[in-house]
Amino acid sequence: MMNALSRRSLLKSVGYFSLSFGIPLQSEISLADAPNSKPPLPGDLNTNRKLSAWLRINANQTVTLLIGKVELGQGILTAVTQVCAEELDIDLKRINIISGDTALVPNEGVTAGSFSMPNCATAVQYASAELRALLLALASEKLKLPFESLSVQDGLIKSTNGLSVSYWDLVLGASLDKEATGTVKPKDPSQYKYIGQSVIRVDFPKKMTGQAIFLQELRPQGMVFAHIVRPPSYLSTLLTVNESAVQSMPGVLKVVRNGSFLGVIAKREQQALAAAHELSKSAKWSEQTLLPTHEGIFDWLLKTKPNKIITTKKQARATAEVPTKTIEATYFRPFHMHASIGTSCAIATLDAQGLLTIQTHSQSVFETGLAIAKMLGMDPSKVRCQHQQGAGCYGHNMADDAAADAALLACAYPGVPVRLQYTRQQEHQWEPYGSAMVIKTKAALNDQGQVLDWDLQLWSNPHTTRPSGEPGNLLSARYLQKPFEMPLPINGGPPNFAADRNAVALYDFPGHQVLTHFITDMPVRVSSTRGLGAYANVFAIESFMDELAHAFKADPVEYRLRFLKDARARDVIQKAAAMLGWTKFNKTPGRGRGIGFAKYKNIASYCAVALEVEVNEKTGRIRVLKAVSSADAGQIVNPDGVKNQIEGGLIQSLSWTLKEEVKFDQKNILAEDWTSYPILTFSEIPHVQVELIDRPGMPFLGCGEASQGPTGAALANAVFDATGVRFRRLPLTPDRVKQGLQKL
């Protein structure tokens, strides 16, 4: 039922004066009633204020929902569909969703940072609630009944006297080209039908039945195939290449060279691959030696002059108590790949009207489209990006580069779709990696182990060089005849941060300082991987908290709780500990348990992870026996979706922590396949149990990057519990663990 507002006050409150719904409103509503100012609106509704940007009521009794966020495997399409159906009171099956098409959807920026739920889902929630209120008001007009007597069931507005009218009768063919007001309050959680339920994901039926839903699977009519030839190393310039010999190879349609950018287009994929191989063999390059090697990267970070030293937090202690003990430790994170199982791909078509359409699995379709337009010297309105689901990646992998390369080649061979997909070697050696980091921690304590002063300093390369509308952030744009320079990267500030994401511990310390040594010189290409700097920072903070607890013979769970005032943080820690059986743990040789905690970015989901491990002292091999996690994501829309995110992040973090490291010598990246860059295998994945703490009525909190940091720390802490040896350099490979144990 609607709340007891008058019809006039409702129509005024939502700010509508002459809607083209096909039902004229009372003449009493005029422009004089319009608000003089524009207050902030919830989530991404604030930057996309028209209801028509989000919703359409269709003649076929469906609703089209348009969103700028895209599906990366995180389940956002399902969650926002649930929210929309909930607030509109319609069946889930009536909703058709369009996402990531720059010609159709609202610009919601990059799908990253666990912002889809708090920003996109919140906007959909308020837009849908407002549309429902408007439809009820229109039904009240048409039926000449007080709207207090009206209710909605699957789009049918019914009254207590039996009269009814449907959404589709009210707004057939109509426009919602009016600004939202954000004044209509969404439903109370007690009324929820879809929110809080684990409904089947909207993308699963096609995936489970083998339909072509992934970009890598698409084969549009008339499509041709392209491949490119990468330089042998970063600082290489193409001197000569035998184009004519390749041009005469079977199936080759065109060889494309633009400066040091080199590609080929052919009728079939194998023909394009063969031609690219021949081009690579004949190409002569100039090269430079530049890299410090992966073994020397941490010394390089510490010795390189930072672009700036950022005071991320500066809190002086108010008390005069003199510390009695100081403890220090240093932690190391190597470069990480995104390591997507499927390599990056794009399909681009330049039509006769000069419109360039790019199908891409980029997370930043709007910004990438703008960067490509600038690279090509085209009007941005002539570049359309359409998101298609890819093989899976959280972060800035090569999807944007593939889009740019396909666009370059499509412009050289217009009129047909040009498909480009990288080889495994190209993806491994040229993607932007997650930055290596060094983190130094120091704590001054009293005799009881109370932290008086906490100091954390980190050294890191940038964590975002996404396209951001700049051609210089697209790989091939730097190798063109007229190359684009890469813009100077910046480190994001509060509340999200970047290198220093989660570097400010959530614990309550009297004195608390965090300094970020931000180094813009980049020996290898870097950008955003899942969580940016949070994985390494949480690993360091939670490992150090464990070290402090053991130094004072305190229980690691109890020790954390000493310094936590946030009740929700305490809840997830205590729940995870209980799930593992923390207080009942039976200590045996070679076995141990550990815990880690974080509130992602200190503004998103709370997550605690507890692990039980077994360490083989002869081989150094770590086996995770049990993995549990507790998470608080605020109001939970799809519990199964949230659990999938926490579980997936936990498994990816185990892979990072146990195995992953990008290795390179002074000239080349050495990782080129799954042997030189191993990841966790199915047989190494433990059973994972996730339990959620639901907070009905609370804001949605992003959860896709919540479990990575806590997992890495929990693993290192469990290994210490099992062996008595503290490992601070990642990954914890068998050789590294064996070597550490031999020093006992």
Q: Check which CATH number belongs to the domain holding 643 and give it.
A: 3.30.365.10
Do the domain assignments include residue 473?
no
Q: What is the pLDDT of residues 429-456, one digit of tens each?
A: 999 999 999 999 999 999 999 999 999 9
Q: Residue 310 above 70 pLDDT? A: yes
Structure tokens at 123: 């906007």
The mean-pLDDT minimum among 12-21, 165-174, 282-291 falls in 12-21
Q: Residue 666 above 90 pLDDT? A: no
- Residues with Cβ within 8 Å of 372's Cβ and at least 6 positions away in sequence, in order, are 356, 358, 378, 383, 403, 404, 407, 467, 471, 474
Residue 63's nearest CA partner among 42, 81, 44 is 81
pLDDT of residue 174: 56
Do the domain assignments include residue 312?
no
Whether 579 and 668 map to the same domain: the answer is yes
Do the domain assignments include residue 323?
no
Whether 94 and 227 map to the same domain: the answer is no
Whether 544 and 680 map to the same domain: the answer is yes
Q: What is the pLDDT of residues 668-683, one digit of tens each?
A: 899 999 999 999 999 9
pLDDT of residue 311: 97
Arithmetic mean of pLDDT, 659-664: 96
Q: What is the pLDDT of residues 522-533, one digit of tens each?
A: 999 999 999 999
Q: Residue 105 above 60 pLDDT? A: yes
Do the domain assignments include residue 482?
no
Of 415, 430, 445, which residue sits at a domain end? Answer: 430
Q: Residue 638 above 90 pLDDT? A: yes
Whether 549 and 603 map to the same domain: the answer is yes
pLDDT of residue 37: 65
pLDDT of residue 484: 97
pTM over 0.75: yes
Do the domain assignments include residue 320?
no
Distance CA 741, CA 578 (A): 30
Whether 391 and 268 map to the same domain: the answer is yes
Q: What is the pLDDT of residues 594-628, one digit of tens each?
A: 999 999 999 999 999 999 999 999 999 999 999 99
Distance CA 439, CA 441 (A): 7
Do the domain assignments include residue 737?
yes
What pLDDT band is residue 291 in, cutting at 50, 70 and 90?
confident
CB environment 516-555: b (16+ within 10 A), e (fewer): bbbbeebbbbbbbbbbbbbbbbbbbbbbbbbbbbbeeeee
Do the domain assignments include residue 474?
no
Whether 246 and 133 map to the same domain: the answer is no
Whether 596 and 688 map to the same domain: the answer is yes
Percent of the chain clearing pLDDT 70 (strictly above): 94
The mean-pLDDT minimum among 288-297, 351-360, 536-545 falls in 288-297
Percent of the chain clearing pLDDT 90 (strictly above): 88
Q: How far is CA 558 from the centre of its chain?
A: 32
Distance CA 415, CA 427 (A): 28
Whether 231 and 135 map to the same domain: the answer is no
Arithmetic mean of pLDDT, 66-85: 96
Do the domain assignments include residue 62?
yes
Alpha helices in 552-658 (DSSP H): 556-562, 567-580, 639-658
Q: What is the pLDDT of residues 698-743, one digit of tens each?
A: 999 999 999 999 999 999 999 999 999 999 999 999 999 999 998 7
pLDDT of residue 743: 78
Is 12 or 302 the better-scoring residue by pLDDT? 302
Q: Which domain holds residue 185?
A: 7-202
Q: What is the pLDDT of residues 201-255, one digit of tens each?
A: 999 999 889 899 999 999 999 999 999 999 999 999 999 999 999 999 999 999 9
Q: How far is CA 291 from the centre of its chain?
A: 29
How distant, in Å, are the alpha carbons of 389, 461, 493, 664 from that of 438?
35, 10, 19, 18
Q: Residue 18 above 50 pLDDT? A: no
Specify whether the CB–CB gap between 506 and 560 falls below 8 A.
Answer: no
What pLDDT band is residue 477 in, cutting at 50, 70 and 90?
very high
Specify whether the CB–CB gap between 626 and 687 falls below 8 A.
Answer: yes
Q: What is the pLDDT of residues 559-568, one digit of tens each?
A: 999 999 999 9
Whether 737 and 646 map to the same domain: the answer is yes
Distance CA 259, CA 116 (A): 39
Whether 148 and 253 map to the same domain: the answer is no
Whether 146 and 230 map to the same domain: the answer is no
Whether 118 and 224 map to the same domain: the answer is no
329 φ, ψ (degrees, to nearest 5): -160, 155
Q: How far is CA 607 from the centre of its chain?
A: 17
Q: Residue 421 above 70 pLDDT? A: yes
Residue 465's nearest CA partner among 445, 485, 439, 494 is 485
Domains identified in the chain, total number: 3
For the chain, give the mean pLDDT: 92
Secondary structure element (H or E) that encloses residue 456, with its range? strand 451-460
pLDDT of residue 450: 97
pLDDT of residue 188: 95
What pLDDT band is residue 292 in, cutting at 50, 70 and 90?
confident
Arithmetic mean of pLDDT, 136-155: 92
Structure tokens at 246: 């390749």
pLDDT of residue 172: 59
How distant, in Å, are the alpha carbons of 56, 79, 533 from that of 463?
38, 28, 7
